Chains A and B, each alone.
Chain A
Amino acid sequence: MATLKLKNLKKGFEGLQIIKGIDLEVLDKEFVVFVGPSGCGKSTLLRLIAGLEDVSSGHIELDGRDITEVSPAKRDLAMVFQTYALYPHMTVRKNMSFALDLAGGDKAEVQRKVDDAARILELTPLLDRKPRQLSGGQRQRVAIGRAIVRNPKIFLFDEPLSNLDAALRVQMRLELARLHQELQATMIYVTHDQVEAMTLANKVVVLNGGRIEQVGSPLELYHHPANLFVAGFLGTPKMAFLKGKVSAVDTGGCEVSLDAGLQLALPHSSAALKVGDPVTLGIRPEHLELATAGQPGLSVTADVSERLGSDTFCHVLADSGEPLTVRLRGDLNNPYGQRLQLHLGAEHCHLFDANGDAVSHALRAAA
């Protein structure tokens, strides 16, 4: 059992507010990923949880116990650092047993725990090596092993894969997912890589500028971003944004006239939405398609295309100058420079008001 509660957590460095009030609940056995652009305070938040930084105000509760003032050693959390932070003068075995040795654990028991962790991580043949004799991926595994042997209440990971090469990153990502299943442990994972967030998390916490933008399951966030930031941050290629104005509203939806020159009836509506309001329409590459003959569509000019074999990502420019990305069939001929007509599925469009907050579907809001 391990649940973590953050209550209005704030942290400033020399008067500069970095974490600006975080409320969050992490449930038992959850894999929570903090994701956000570099410098948004992810690491700081994780270090606050670990106790490596003192909070400026707010509270941290672990299993209902307030641990805000508890020293890092007594919090029963383990952290895996981006640089691995292995102890360079100790063997892999000693690195992994260090915490238990310090705690004065029974020798045979410590040995058994280290051997178990080494087996899970396939480190057994490396136990007598020094960290400098290991590859990046192996060091990473030792760092994880060091956390596992302690059987902590919560595992904290700070960008553990960002120092690995691309292929190893994919492999370690899978191993981490497997490890989470095997250990049934609560994990908090920090990354700036939205792919890691989408693939690993039960719960994604999108951070921006020291605030939480949205919390939810990966698909929830992908399909129902709460605001422009989340919509633009998750998904590759990015969601396209088209500016426009509301030209008609009723309870069942609204009509938006885009600057790019298209009049579109949308199933979005809210009480606050008025005719003439500036809005932003968002649409993902997979929800754009070429309009069939006679279908009304958005006129765009094709720019370069990226052909991946399975798909072609065609970058296009609307007449208003706004860029869009369209996902098309893989065997498409390069349409560079051609005029295309795009069909926007109204059902898949996202609508954001002047503040950047999402306007929900009228039907879903009513339900």
Chain B
Amino acid sequence: MTTQTANKAQLRDTRKAVGRRSSNPGWFLVSPSVLLLLLWMIVPLGMTLYFSLIRFNLLYPGENEFVGLENFSFFLTDSGFLPGIWNTVVLVLSVLIISVVGGVLVAALLEASDFIGRGIVRVMLISPFFIMPTVGALVFKNLIFHPVSGILAALWRAFGAQPIDWLANYPLASIIIIVAWQWLPFAILLLMTAIQSQDLEQKEAARLDGAGPGAIFWHLTLPHLSRPIAVVVMIETIFLLSVFAEIFTTTNGGPGFASTNLAYLIYNQALVQFDVGMASAGGLIAVVIANIAAVILVRMIGKNLTDKG
């Protein structure tokens, strides 16, 4: 094995040397795609930057004078900004916790149990992931959380209790449930595949060493899953930072700012108040926040991914 790695390293070195010698034609050949990618990224970013520095409200066309950082200061001092940040953090963390903990438990249970129809149950568990966020949110809004037509209302009435208007009274919690319902399957899918690749003989060795199912789960299965869990956290964080459809179709960010996250706040600025300049500033702030989150994530769990297992 060591020799193999050595060989690979050697090969890489040779390749590097070759690359250096003939670097000009290489650059020439990849330049179209590099250029395209640069344009792809630079143009929108540049436009956003530009918009964020000018006054650009669709209600007042033609008044596009340079305003410096005014848009940023307006966005940061907007009454929706702090709740938006807070709600984003709460939403992301809650869904991450629910989907990772739930995903590990469901995957482990599915792996441990053996019953007829296990395949069908697996498919059913994963299926919410393939439902459009808008559709899922509407189903939750009208058939589950609705104070008149919802299943929960019926349940409450069956016990003689007053039905609760979930989306009005617990807007953020309701949205967390909807989003978690969509992302839990993703975690289950990834973790289930990972759990199936766990070495059987390791588990048998642990059994002989006197480990019960709990100890095997804690000492072998969880460490084995650390890498897929890191992947789940990374990918879900990226998507959860920009949850929008679920909020748009259910609470519209309300009541007040109770369920407004950053993505929704930006939408609100741009398309409700027609303030493109401020929305661009918000977008850039969101990019900065996403990058901070990415750095923290890479610090925390990136080691898990690059570490050779």
Residues of A bordering B, CB below 8 Å: 50-52, 71-73, 77-79, 81-83, 85-90, 98-99, 102-103, 132, 135-136, 146, 150
**Chain A residues within an 8 Å CB radius of B202:** 85-88
B2 interface residue, CB < 8 Å from A?
A: yes
**Chain A residues within an 8 Å CB radius of B308:** 132
How many positions in chain B have a CB within 8 Å of any CB in the partner chain? 22
Residues of B bordering A, CB below 8 Å: 1-2, 199, 201-202, 204-212, 215, 219-220, 223-224, 226, 308-309
For the complex of A and B, list the 4 residue pairs with the smallest distance between their C-beta atoms, beginning with the closest: A99-B209, A89-B223, A85-B201, A73-B210
Q: Tell me, in angstroms, the Cα distance from A301 to B151 when the chains sit together.
A: 91
**Chain A residues within an 8 Å CB radius of B226:** 89
* CB-CB under 8 A for A50 and B208, given A83-B201, A132-B309: yes
Q: Tell me, in angstroms, the Cα distance from A135 to B215 when the chains sit together.
A: 28
Q: A79-B204, A87-B202 are in contact. List 4 more A-B contacts (CB 8 A).
A: A50-B208, A72-B204, A79-B208, A150-B209
Contact A77 B309 (CB under 8 A): no
Contact A73 B208 (CB under 8 A): yes
Closest B residue, CB atoms, query A99: B209
Smallest Cβ distance from B81 to chain A, in angstroms? Answer: 43
Q: Tell me, in angstroms, the Cα distance from A346 to B267 when the chains sit together.
A: 100
Q: Tell me, in angstroms, the Cα distance from A51 to B207 when the chains sit together.
A: 10
Q: Tell me, in angstroms, the Cα distance from A72 to B207 when the chains sit together.
A: 7
Smallest Cβ distance from B124 to chain A, in angstroms? Answer: 28
**Chain A residues within an 8 Å CB radius of B212:** 73
Contact A72 B208 (CB under 8 A): yes
**Chain A residues within an 8 Å CB radius of B210:** 73, 99, 102-103
Q: Tell me, in angstroms, the Cα distance from A73 to B1 when the chains sit together.
A: 34
**Chain A residues within an 8 Å CB radius of B2:** 135
17 CB-based A-B contacts, threshold 8 Å: A51-B208, A52-B208, A71-B207, A73-B207, A73-B208, A73-B212, A78-B208, A79-B204, A81-B201, A83-B199, A85-B204, A87-B220, A89-B220, A90-B219, A98-B211, A103-B210, A150-B209
* CB-CB under 8 A for A102 and B211, given A87-B219, A135-B2: yes
Q: Tell me, in angstroms, the Cα distance from A88 to B216 when the chains sit together.
A: 13
Contact A98 B208 (CB under 8 A): no
**Chain B residues within an 8 Å CB radius of A89:** 220, 223-224, 226
Smallest Cβ distance from B308 to chain A, in angstroms? Answer: 7
**Chain B residues within an 8 Å CB radius of A150:** 209
* CB-CB under 8 A for A73 and B205, given A83-B199, A89-B223: no
Smallest Cβ distance from B104 to chain A, in angstroms? Answer: 16
**Chain A residues within an 8 Å CB radius of B224:** 88-89
Q: Tell me, in angstroms, the Cα distance from A5 to B91 when the chains sit together.
A: 62
Closest B residue, CB atoms, query A94: B219
Which residue, A51, A52, A132, A146, has most C-beta atoms of chain B within 10 A? Answer: A52
Contact A98 B223 (CB under 8 A): no
**Chain B residues within an 8 Å CB radius of A51:** 208
**Chain A residues within an 8 Å CB radius of B211:** 73, 98, 102
Contact B209 A98 (CB under 8 A): yes
Q: Which of B1, B199, B219, B309 contacts A98 (CB 8 A)?
A: B219
**Chain B residues within an 8 Å CB radius of A77:** 208
Q: Tell me, in angstroms, the Cα distance from A13 to B259 when the chains sit together.
A: 57
Q: Which of A81, A86, A102 contacts B204 (CB 8 A)?
A: A81
Smallest Cβ distance from B26 to chain A, in angstroms? Answer: 35
Contact B199 A52 (CB under 8 A): no
Q: Tell me, in angstroms, the Cα distance from A71 to B213 when the chains sit together.
A: 13
* CB-CB under 8 A for A73 and B209, given A83-B201, A87-B219: yes
Contact B208 A102 (CB under 8 A): no
Smallest Cβ distance from A153 to chain B, in angstroms? Answer: 12
Contact B201 A102 (CB under 8 A): no
Q: Tell me, in angstroms, the Cα distance from A90 to B309 when the chains sit together.
A: 12
Smallest Cβ distance from A101 to chain B, in angstroms? Answer: 9
Q: Tell me, in angstroms, the Cα distance from A306 to B9 when the chains sit together.
A: 40
Contact B204 A52 (CB under 8 A): yes
Q: Tell me, in angstroms, the Cα distance from A86 to B223 when the chains sit together.
A: 13
Contact B206 A87 (CB under 8 A): yes
Q: Tell me, in angstroms, the Cα distance from A146 to B212 when the chains sit together.
A: 18
Smallest Cβ distance from B297 to chain A, in angstroms? Answer: 21
Which residue, B205, B207, B210, B212, has most C-beta atoms of chain A within 10 A? Answer: B205
Smallest Cβ distance from B71 to chain A, in angstroms? Answer: 49
**Chain B residues within an 8 Å CB radius of A136:** 1
Q: Tell me, in angstroms, the Cα distance from A85 to B202 when the chains sit together.
A: 5
Q: Tell me, in angstroms, the Cα distance from A334 to B230 when the chains sit together.
A: 66
Q: Tell me, in angstroms, the Cα distance from A71 to B224 when the chains sit together.
A: 25
Q: Tell me, in angstroms, the Cα distance from A99 to B206 when the chains sit together.
A: 8
